Each structure stands twice: as C-alpha cells, then as structure tokens.
Chain A
Amino acid sequence: MMRRNKMCGILNLTESRLATYPLTLYRPIASLPFCSRYRLIDLPLTNLTTAGVETIGVFTHDNLRSIYDHVRSGKEWGLDSIHGGLFFFSDPGTDGNRNGVNHEGDIYNYFNNIAFFDKSESEYTVIMGTRMLCNIDVKAVLRHHIEQGAEITVVYKSTSVQDNEDKNASCLTIDEDGHVRGLKSCGMSESKGQLFINMDIYILKTELVTKLIRNAVAENEHCNLNDVLHQAIVNLPSNGFEYTGYLRNINSVEAYYQANMDMLEERNMTALLKGSQSIHTKVKNEAPTFYSRSSDVEDSLVANGCIIHGEVAHSVIFRNVTIEKNTVVNSSIIMQGSSIGSGAELHYVILDKQVRIEPNTKLIGTKNKPIVIEKNSVISRISEGVTSEMAQMKSQENRVNKQDVDTLFTHK
C-alpha cells in the first residue's frame, strides 16, 4: 500500500535521437517499437504505475504524435482514473528541429511547467527516461531512498569494464557505504574492474526537484535536467541503488538490434517482460497469426495478426506482417505491417513499419551492422552484384532509403 500521491513520475523523453538514426528519424526513442508488440515507453510507464504512481508528466521536445497515439489516456496502464493521470509537456525549442536536440536544453520546458510539480501534491518525484531498457521495481528504490535518508537516490547497474559497450555512458563512483562520490565517463575507467553505469533514474523530494530547476534557470544555464541532476548527485548527499536485472542502453542501432535479439532467450524475456511486473502496452485487436503448410519458423518471436508462408529463423516479427512462400528471414527484425514477397532473402535486416519487400529481393547485413530499411519504403529486386555492393555501402552508412535504391536502379 502506498498513500495516494506519495510519488509522482517524470518521463524525461528529451533523449538524443541521433545515435539511432534512421529508426528515430521521425520518432523519439520512447516510441521505438520493441519485441514484436511493445514500444520502449511501455517499460517505464509500467514500472511507474506498478509502483502506484498515479500522476506522470511526460516532458519532450518532439511533437507528441507517436507517443500520444500509443499512450492516449494511459488506460492500458490504469492512468485514466479520476486521480492524477498523464500530462504532456512539449517544447519544440527555437530551432524547430526534428532530431530531439534543443540547444537551449530541456530545463526551460520543466521551468515553464513547474506548476505540474506543485499540483501533483506529491512528496517524492521519480525521474526516468526510455533509453535505458530495464524493468525496475520503483517502489524498492523509494523504500531504499527513505531508509538511507539521502537527498537523491540514483539507480546504477554494475558491470565489468570488458562487458561495457558504451564508452560514453556516465559512470558513478560509489564508496563502500553506497554514497555517490563522483561521476565520469566510462571511457575514463581502468581497463579492469567494475563499472557502475548511471541509469539516469532518480528519486528525490519534489521540492528539491523544483529547487534545482529554479536554480538552474536563475543561473541562466542552457542545460538539460539530466545535467542538473548529474551535478546534484555529486554536490548533494546522494546514494546509489543497484539494479540487478536486464539492462541495455539503446544508444545505437546495433544496441537496438541486440536488445530485440536478446528477447529470443527466454531468461532475458522473462526478466524484462514477464517477471514480477508484466509490461503493459496498447491493446490491438488482431486476429491470431496463421502459419501455412509451407511455413518453417524456429527460434522466433511473433506477434498476432501475421500470415506466414516462408522460412523464419532467429527473428522478431511484429504485428500484421505477411511473409510469402520461399522466403528466408534470418536474424532480422520485421516491424508492424511490413510484407515480404516470395523468394526474398533477408539476413540481419531491420525493416521499419509498413515496408514492402518485392519478390526475390535480397538484403544481407551483418550481425554488427544490420541493414535498416526506413518506414514505408518499397524495396525492389536488385541483382546479386548490386546487393553485395549495397550491403557494403550500407555497412558504412547503416541505412538504406528509397533514394539509394533508386540510384542503384539507374546503375543497372
């Protein structure tokens, strides 16, 4: 049991989209489709609501369409009750950019909407993003925060230096008592030993959040809320809370690809999606998936609404995908509404939503550089030689778009 309004939630969605281009060309990281039927925002939303958080503020630079389309009233997460609910605060910034980076920082968006914190009447605020893919027990973090009596509690994941893939991630220096002593880039660490990766999940008193925001604006700083918090956990008595579950930092297309592939292993899927908190998402009314006599599907995750005639292995298939006869789909991610024509062959490919692969098309990527096909593209048959040339080119650029394919055609 938790007293009503003890804690309000902040979804901080001003995460930079550049690293995951072209998947995030037209959508924020929070809207990235994940594991056949989810979007990344489902995880923090479920974590917050499971912990009894009833009031959630969503702060972003983007236009909100894809998030709002998905979340709506928040009904699937039980946020459409008479108490609290979801509140959206969007500040597209002065440069009207598309890439989710506002050069003035997001702090002004928080400052302009600071009334949200007062109105929430909550004692504590929990701040999360969507880039750090995890399933965390927010209530346990709050309990830890109250017991330890720190000003700010920050969540971290402990990993060995060798296993860390992101040299740019911020890492905490934590002493034996769990107090935060400093913050540095992971790349600055020793070549061996443990790293405490900062997951950018914070719990602190609501009045402290508003104080920090007002201070930053008073000093006329152009910065992000996360920068303010990074400073604050070093300057104020702060504690670390160790998260021990599944974590992946979606900081590149490769990491995004790997996170999806991770779900093919049952222990990962159980840890992230089916564990003590099962993740909620927008409900769609799709028919069951049909497997025909010619289909051959192994080691794959498939959502409802698909029609499968071809061969699929080690892949993640989203809703309403059609895979025709004599196709091979291997180690790939096929998003919602895409269709793959007969005789096509896809290895290490990410098809964004509603992509059409014409018959007999071959797309071969590699594990470290999967080919990404943008939303709504139509990819036609390309001769063998051009394909390898394209794959090569793509492995440098990591994307194929319509123009590229058109150029390839004129080559022919």
Chain B
Amino acid sequence: MCGRGWSHHSFPRMMKNEMIAMILAGGQGSRLGKLTRTIAKPAVPFGGKYRIIDFSLSNCSNSGIRTVGVVTQYQPLELNSHIGNGSHWGLDHKEGGVTILQPHSSLDGEKWFQGTAHAIYQNIGYIDSHNPTYLLILSGDHIYKMDYEHMLNFHKRKKASATVAVVHVPLTDASRFGIMNTDNTDRIIDFEEKPAMPKSNLASMGIYIFTWEVLRRYLVESHATGQNMDDFGKNVIPTFLANGENVFAYSFGGYWKDVGTIESLWEANMAFINPDHELNIRDKSWRIYSKNPVAPPHYLASGAKVKESLIVDGCYISGEINHSIISQNVKIGANTVIKDSIVMANTVIGKNVTIDHAIVGEHAVFANNAQVIGDQSIEVVGYNEIVGGLNDETE
C-alpha cells in the first residue's frame, strides 16, 4: 500500500462503465391475449427454444455490455426465473451483470412505473451506482440481432445527447409507428407518434442511447417541476427536440420484428423456420443464447413424418409435422397431424390429433382425437390448457 490519498480516495472508485443497458420488460403485451395472461411479453417463447427477451440479452452480451438492468413490473415471475443471474447469456460478471429491477415502495410512496422514462427515473440510483457515460434503453420485446457498439460509435461521432435507432418501414405501415423526420445529417428535426400522414418512413425501434448526464438532468428537473416526463416517445424525445438538444436517428438495416400481436408472433415464427432466414440464427459469431434446460436428444419414431419444421431437444414424435415449430420436451402421438403451428415446451399431444394454424402454450395437454384448427385467424391454446375429453380414449 502506498498510503497516499486516503482522504479523497478512501475507496477505489468503481471502474467506470462506458455504457450500461436498461431493458424495459415491464409491458403486458395485452394484444397477445392468452399468451401474456400469466407471463410478461418479453418472456413469451419464440422460435422453439428462445424467449423474446433472449434477443436483447444476447445482443447486450455480444456487444460487450457488462451491466444490464431489467426493469420488470407485469407478471415478473417467469421472467425472473428465466433470467436468473444472467449466466446463460454470459452476463454473470463480478461487477455489474444482470440485475432485475422491480417497482418497490419507499418513504416517497409507491413507485409503480408510469411509463418507460418514469421507470428509468425510478431507477436513477441503480444507474448512478454504475456511473455510466451513456445509457442504452431497450424494450425487450423485439426479435433482432444488433451490435449496440456501432450505435454507440454513431452517437459519439455525432456528439448527440440522444440517438434513436430507426428502421425503414413501408410508408403504408408508417402510421402505426413513432416516425422520425431527419435532415441530411441524420439529425432528427421532428418526431410524430403514429402520424395519420407520415412524412417519412423512419420508424423508432424503441432503442435509445442517451448521454446519461443529460437524460438524468431532464428527468430530475421535470420531476421537480411536475412536468410529465413519463414516456420516451411521447415526452422525452419531443422535449429534447424542443430544447434544441442533439438528437440523431441511427438507421438499422437488419431484420427487426415487433411480435406484439398473435398474427405477427405466428408470422415471425413461421418465417423463422426457413434456414435461410435473414436473422441467421446459426451464425456462430453472433449467437442467441437462452436458458437451456437439460433434455436428451429428440426422437423421431418409426412412422414419424417431419417436413419443413424445427424440432428441439427432448421431444418424442410419432405423428406428422408439417411446417411447424416444436419446442422442448413435447410428446406427439401417432397419426397426429400438426401443420403451420407453434407448439411450446412440455406439451403432451395424444394420438389422432389435428392442429392447424395454431399457437399452443406451454404444458398444454391434448386428448386423443382432439382438434384445434384456426380457420379465419390463428387459434391460441393457453398455457396448461387441456383440449378434448381425456376419458375419450379410442385406439
């Protein structure tokens, strides 16, 4: 010990994190109906062996972000147990790592999160404890692969206070999104939430990088003055623009999919079956990690017919699978036909069952001869649901 400077350095300062991430995983995702009745949207299974939040968590891990706060609120049980200490994504670091941030009560009263920016305001203490220069805000309910370091470099190059990641959407769809209008230097000059007459097709992905010191100042001041600063899209970005802050749009060119509805979830899964899918899930240089339960390999019995489908460990399959995704530990009996469907983990399906255009939740049970056919729209069978009479045993 050199014994010098005890007075002002009684503790070594925590190594400064250049950027930490906050994943906003508190949303209910009510448009997913039965699938989000008991679990939060980011915990909804995707692609046979992932959950939606795995994409954001893996992107963080692959981008070299070592500190991730996951803000939960709605039905957090499944999400918490999925994330654990973050070791499955290589995020169990000595410093930082993954922290689950839940609303809690304090002397100031209850702290339910009123909106995306409000959730950040309520966790200023957590963010300050890591002392980041930049703060990455993610929404945890999109399917995409993205290197956040590129976006950070853009943010630094532009000397921005805030950078919003955007994708080009078809102009006809633009009125469903928050639309950014930019000048020729990518500076955002105007922002409109779900405009009836969109002026551009640059849609916000709900991914932001803020210079933390600037965002912190806005959040604290607006709280003190009682100004509404609850939501990034509705309040924070417009206020930044009004005050002449440097706000830039970072264009993202890769695959990005919002799976907020039953139809879009089904479509995204069906497209994911194709091994030439744009997401390139088999790319070893940018793996998508997940919590992998231990299961033996899957077994295709004599008589099984599996075509254009994805199958995961632990399954036992005797029936016919056509253009479908079958997740872990699913059992499928003889003469059963499954077509254009997603069957989530641990489901048991008897003999002679027909499932067509459907999403089947985890732990569902199908009796022999049961039928679930989505005619006009995608049929959804909820978690733990039982379909068909279990006494109706006909060989």
A residues whose Cβ falls under 8 Å from a Cβ of B: 35-37, 75-76, 264, 266, 269, 273-274, 278-281, 283-285, 287-293, 295-305, 307, 316-317
Contact = CB atoms under 8 A, between A and B. Distances in A.
Given A298-B301, A304-B49, A36 B290 contact: no
5 contacts: A269-B299, A287-B49, A288-B312, A301-B296, A301-B299
B300 interface: yes
Contacts of B307: 291-293, 295
Contact of A302 (B281, B308, B311, B325): B311
A299 B301 contact: yes
Contact of A289 (B288, B303, B312): B312
B300 A288 contact: no
B281 A291 contact: no
A130 B276 CA distance: 41
B275 interface: yes
Contacts of B306: 291, 295, 297
Contacts of B150: none
A291 B49 CA distance: 16
Contacts of A291: 306-311, 321
A299 B302 contact: yes
A305 B282 CA distance: 8
Interface in B254-272: none
B300 A300 contact: yes
Contacts of A264: 299
Report, as a range, how many residues of chain B touch the other chain: 35 or more
B33 interface: no
A283 B294 contact: yes
Contacts, number: 98
B311 A289 contact: yes
Interface string B286-330: 011110101011111111111111111100100001000100000
B48 interface: yes
Contacts of B207: none
B296 A37 contact: yes
Nearest to B90: A285
A298 B300 contact: yes
A37 B273 CA distance: 22
B333 interface: no
A287 B282 contact: yes
Report the 4 A-B pairs with minimum CB-CB distance, sorted nearest first: A36-B297, A288-B310, A288-B48, A301-B297
Contacts of A287: 47, 49, 281-282, 310
Nearest to A320: B282
B296 A36 contact: yes
Given A285-B289, A285-B290, A297-B306, A35 B275 contact: no
Given A288-B48, A299-B301, 11 more contacts: A35-B296, A37-B296, A266-B316, A281-B294, A288-B312, A288-B325, A290-B275, A290-B309, A297-B300, A299-B300, A302-B297
A298 B302 contact: yes
Contacts of A300: 299-300
Contacts of B316: 266
Nearest to B313: A304
